Structure 1
Amino acid sequence: MLPRSPASPHLRRLRWARGFSATSSPSPSASTVEGKIVASVVFERLPVVIPKINPVVYAFQEFSFRWRQQYRRKYPDDVLGKAEARGKGDYQIDYVPAPRITEADKINDRKSLQRALDNKLYLLLFGKTLGAPDGKPVWHFPEKVYENEDTLRLCAESALKSVFGGLDNTYFVGNAPMAHMVAEQTEDASVSSFKRFFFKSQVIGTTKLDIRKCEDHVWVTKDELLEYFPEHKALFDNMIIHIR
């Protein structure tokens, strides 16, 4: 987790957790002996519009189309005339595509969900959290320290409930964590080593969310995440699949 300044606790080890049992959960004794366990939620908004085609892909599609045109079957003109006349009427629909660039993009309003419509966005909160140096506010994903919940998934749900007051516009993808990392104690950290388990959740059915219990928040793309967590590039490259 990073504060607004470049200083942050160093993560010496990264471990990946795949295929956890949906019913398994850490026990209180394990939490006491090996350090605290944290459920963190990677809360994302999926793309709203189709991403732009990569120039290389577009060039290949253009080449393929022109190549197929050389060998296409040519139909008689009278057949083509009948096909073109079919379905015509007195009505006409003018289609105007929605703009890709919004007002939030123009002013770089990272608090708005109406930005980067062709990309995924991830929610970051600014406030106090476990492992922050000297207990100062830092940027982090929504998270909660595991206490006595039946499963770690329920702990992750509680973390998101504390931010929005409910789970009406959220969807958790699976019951198991998508990854986990081990943070070891450093000189400037206020707690001993602990494990942070990441769960994926998505925004559904809304374009605006009421975010509470934090000093600040932003919605950022994967590339913009590195501005807040520059030392975690390897983590995000493995945990978050980029759509481009």
Structure 2
Amino acid sequence: MQRSCRSLSRVLVSNRGFCSSTTKGAGNEKIVASVLFERLPVVIPKIDPVVYAFQEYSFRWRQQFRRAYPEEFLKKSDARGKGEYQIDFVPAPRITEADKTNDKRSLQRALDRRLYLLLYGDTYGTPKGQPVWHFPEKVYKSEETLRKCAESALESVLGDLTHTYFVGNAPMGHIAKPLTDKHKDTDAFKRFFFKSQVIATNKFNIKCKDFVWVTKDELLEYFPDHSEYLTKMIIS
């Protein structure tokens, strides 16, 4: 029984070549861990006009059959909270200064949408000296797991992972780039995407040539070749 278990484990390890090694072979295919780093909405999105109209209708309909309360009870309810310690609440504006100036380097924009971090610089799979927009990423080498590689990629950009949260241990999707005659100097590779989220902060000291925080619609403009796939992968 022990021999059969050992032989089975050897077979499983041998079939995990892409996870345990990045040495040349098996088509020179490399693995890249990429991080979809997002900031969740800060405020509740505006209600759709159709939904708002339905809620108005439901409220008026309920008013016709609501329970009638004594006038004394209603007066007590109206007087509640109007004492010496009453606080006048003024909600913060939805449109911030970053929205007005279209400052994409700020997290204080598009408060009712998800924002995603894009970096500008050299990345794997593109000719050297030709910077492009890309996600935080790193070629998998000797990390214990692929998620550890993704964490290392994000940490190299942010400095630490104190205000980040990785959603799950498995990637949310991947894109395979086969070897072509146009780029013979680069190996074929697969890019695996991991999701991570901003936690309890609205500013990062990002180490890169340039960066932007963009919505999903804006993000697709940076990747026209993969817009269809990213549309399906990113739910926002």
Q: What letter matches 2:112 in structure 1?
A: D
Q: Which residue of 2 aligns with 1:28?
A: 21
Deviation at 1:236, TM superposition (A): 1.9
Q: Which residue of 2 aligns with 1:124?
A: 118
Q: 1:91 aligns with which of 68, 81, 85?
A: 85
Deviation at 1:135, TM superposition (A): 5.5
Q: Which residue of 2 aligns with 1:227?
A: 221
Q: What letter matches 2:57 in structure 1?
A: F
Alpha-carbon contact 1:31-1:37 (below 8 Å) kept: no
Any stretches of 5+ residues in structure 2 without a counterpart? 1-15
Structure 2 vs 1, CA of residues 84 and 187 (structure 1 numbering), >3 Å: closer, same or farther?
same
Q: 1:192 aligns with which of 187, 195, 213?
A: 187
Deviation at 1:78, TM superposition (A): 3.2
Output the CA distance in 2 between the equivalents of 1:30 and 1:234: 32
Question: Once the two structures are superposed, what CA deviation does each residue of 1:170-227 show, in whole Å capped at 9, x if it has no partner?
Answer: 1111111111111123344341321110000011121110011x22110000010111
Deviation at 1:111, TM superposition (A): 0.7
Output the CA distance in 2 between the equivalents of 1:103 and 1:155: 36
Q: Which residue of 2 aligns with 1:54?
A: 48
The answer on 1:238 being equivalent to 2:223 is: no
Structure number with greater Rg is 2
The answer on 1:153 being equivalent to 2:143 is: no
RCO higher in 1 or 2 (8 Å CA, sep ≥ 6)? 1
Output the CA distance in 1 between the equivalents of 2:46 and 2:96: 16
Alpha-carbon contact 1:184-1:193 (below 8 Å) kept: yes
Alpha-carbon contact 2:22-2:141 (below 8 Å) kept: no
Q: What letter matches 1:105 in structure 2?
A: D
Question: Once the two structures are superposed, what CA deviation does each residue of 1:59-81 show, in whole Å capped at 9, x if it has no partner?
Answer: 11111111111111122323323
Q: Which residue of 2 aligns with 1:205?
A: 200
Length-normalised TM-score, structure 2: 0.85
The worse-fitting range, judged by mean Cα deviation, of 67-76 and 154-163 is 67-76
Alpha-carbon contact 1:51-1:118 (below 8 Å) kept: yes
Alpha-carbon contact 2:22-2:31 (below 8 Å) kept: no
Q: Which residue of 2 aligns with 1:112?
A: 106
Output the CA distance in 1 between the equivalents of 2:22 and 2:127: 26
Alpha-carbon contact 1:45-1:120 (below 8 Å) kept: yes
Q: Which residue of 2 aligns with 1:3?
A: none
Alpha-carbon contact 1:134-1:188 (below 8 Å) kept: no
Structure 2 vs 1, CA of residues 141 and 183 (structure 1 numbering), >3 Å: closer, same or farther?
same
| SS of 1:49 mapped into structure 2 | coil
Alpha-carbon contact 2:22-2:140 (below 8 Å) kept: no
The answer on 1:70 being equivalent to 2:64 is: yes
Output the CA distance in 1 between the equivalents of 2:191 and 2:234: 16
Output the CA distance in 2 between the equivalents of 1:156 and 1:29: 16
Output the CA distance in 2 between the equivalents of 1:149 and 1:32: 19
Output the CA distance in 2 between the equivalents of 1:45 and 1:165: 18
The worse-fitting range, judged by mean Cα deviation, of 82-91 and 228-237 is 82-91
Q: How many residues align?
A: 218
Q: Which residue of 1 aligns with 2:74?
A: 80
Alpha-carbon contact 1:133-1:188 (below 8 Å) kept: no
Alpha-carbon contact 1:124-1:139 (below 8 Å) kept: yes
Question: Once the two structures are superposed, what CA deviation does each residue of 1:37-60 show, in whole Å capped at 9, x if it has no partner?
Answer: 000000001111111111111111
